[in-house]
Chains A and B, each alone.
Chain A
Amino acid sequence: MIDSATRMPQPFGVADAQRDDGSQSAADLILAYEKGIADLRAAVSGMTEDELRRRPVPGKWSTLEVICHVSDCEQFFADRMKRTLAMDRPLLVGAEGFHYPEPLQYHQRDLAEELELVRLTRQQMTRVLRLVPPEAWNRTAVHTKSGLVTLRQLLLPAIHHLAHHLHFVHEKRVALSPNLSM
């Protein structure tokens, strides 16, 4: 049985999520978001079904658990951005994704299906974002954990969250195949 409570990845807090030095334009952010599709696919390319389900780093999730976590989070990241674009200052409810692996049985999920869902979600959201007029990037929402946020501050977590977790996927791959670190 997967014990979510003891296998949580390092916390990804609000500060991490919204880290922004302002140097990236909206176009840069959209490109980074879109690029995440390929980054995710590359990070797990060639891994076997057994490797995907192994937990080679003590106290941490398997690769498949990480990918499922990313995939599930992508849905509410996209939903939040759309609500903010469409509605006036919507309330966005935080989700406790760390509790998902056991009830949603992450090891029963299919990697290809998860990757495809992330691809399609990001592809469609990229299309939406590219049509957003400049002033819309200042539209706001109220997030139950981080308070008042702009559209920009809702896109940044999606970008940073994926990067955060790909680091851990790489760590697992190295643990499974130490020669990868060379």
Chain B
Amino acid sequence: MQMSEYLAMMQGDDGKLDAVELIAAYEQGIQELRTTVAGMTAEQVLARPVPGKWSTVECVGHLADTEIFFTDRIVRTIAMDHPLLMSADETLYIKRLDYQSFDLEEQLALFTALRHHAVRILRMQSCEAWTRTAVHSGAGLLTLRQLVLQPVRHLRHHLPFIAEKRAAVEAHRP
């Protein structure tokens, strides 16, 4: 998939969700992620059971790290006028930041804290604030709505991959 297609998939806004629903979907992601990995052993989260794909801890580390800049983008867009938001090549993070050495619970806790933090901020925003814009270096002009849609969709994009890994390691459990 081309980056432009990927970004369109992540950031496209069909207007179906109102602000309350959008925040609810965003907040619900915390439990969705936790449920997806609940009960996996240390060995299972480190395994790469699907050829060519990340381990579970790498995937969750990726989700936590992207959540850091997703949250920063939301905050900048609320606080600053037309901030420039730089895209990031997420694929480079996993290897160079040694995600296999990450601690799953630490990543889950960080992800949770970031989402709680942003939910509190988002719930305080006026209707007008949701149309505030930023300039994303890869996607161009984005609204606050789109900047919240992206983490919602990003998480949901990755959860099936974690479920796939889980099914694979559990199938091979002695």
Contact = CB atoms under 8 A, between A and B. Distances in A.
B118 to A, nearest CB: 10
Given A108-B124, A120-B106, A124-B106, A79 B92 contact: no
A82 B72 CA distance: 14
A47 interface: no
Contacts of A105: 121, 124
Interface residues of B, number: 38
A105 B109 CA distance: 24
Interface stretch (A13-21, A30-38, A88-96): A88-96
B127 to A, nearest CB: 15
Counting contact residues on chain A (CB < 8 A from B), the size range is 35 or more
Question: Chain A binding site: helix, strand, loop or mixed by DSSP?
Answer: helix
Interface in B105-140: 106-107, 109-110, 113-114, 116-117, 120-121, 124, 129, 137
Contacts of B6: none
Contact of B68 (A78, A99, A103, A127): A78
A104 B75 contact: yes
Contact of B71 (A75, A83, A113): A75
Contacts of A120: 106, 109-110, 113
Interface stretch (B16-24, B32-40, B93-101, B147-155): B93-101
Contacts of B12: none
A103 B96 CA distance: 35
A93 B85 contact: yes
B106 to A, nearest CB: 6
Nearest to B76: A95
A113 B116 CA distance: 8
B82 to A, nearest CB: 12
Contacts of A76: 72
* The 4 nearest A-B residue pairs measured at CB: A86-B93, A86-B92, A120-B110, A100-B79
Interface of A: 71-72, 75-76, 78-79, 82-83, 85-87, 90-93, 95-96, 99-100, 103-105, 108-110, 113-114, 116-117, 120-121, 123-124, 127-128, 131
27 contacts: A71-B117, A72-B75, A75-B75, A75-B114, A79-B68, A83-B86, A86-B88, A86-B93, A87-B88, A87-B92, A90-B88, A93-B83, A95-B76, A100-B79, A104-B75, A104-B78, A113-B120, A116-B113, A117-B113, A120-B109, A121-B68, A121-B110, A124-B110, A127-B102, A127-B103, A127-B106, A128-B97
